[in-house]
Structure 1
Amino acid sequence: MRKTKTVAFVGLSSQNPGVITIANAVFGSDPPISDDVLAKAFQIDKKGIDYLQSKFWWDNN
């Protein structure tokens, strides 16, 4: 993997106070989002999706 600069998108929920990061909501969702859908949405292969899903993601609940 090469190192590049990144940007984090976050949102605040008034109904459930706290920060909700997009990465946690997408890659750490329960039930999980289909690898096929994520691969198509982020235009990367399933190997890249598996790598991202294998990382530790904080529970949003």
Structure 2
Amino acid sequence: MKLNRAIKIRLYPNQAQEKMLNKTFGCCRFIYNKMLEERIKVYEELKGDNQALYDHRYKTEK
């Protein structure tokens, strides 16, 4: 049986750290939304062609 555990912590960043965290989370949110927008667009274009949907993937670095 697998047991999941969680720990809650609270951060108290200074102003410089808070600014950096806000920039980082803003960038992450922007990238996520752009990729979601592209994926939705591709899905609408290739809705009937399951193989083309499967073949459409993002590039990965090796």
TM-score by length of 1: 0.25
Give 1 or 2: higher helix fraction.
Answer: 2
Decide which structure has the larger Cα Rg and report it: 2
Give 1 or 2: higher strand fraction.
Answer: 1
TM-score by length of 2: 0.25
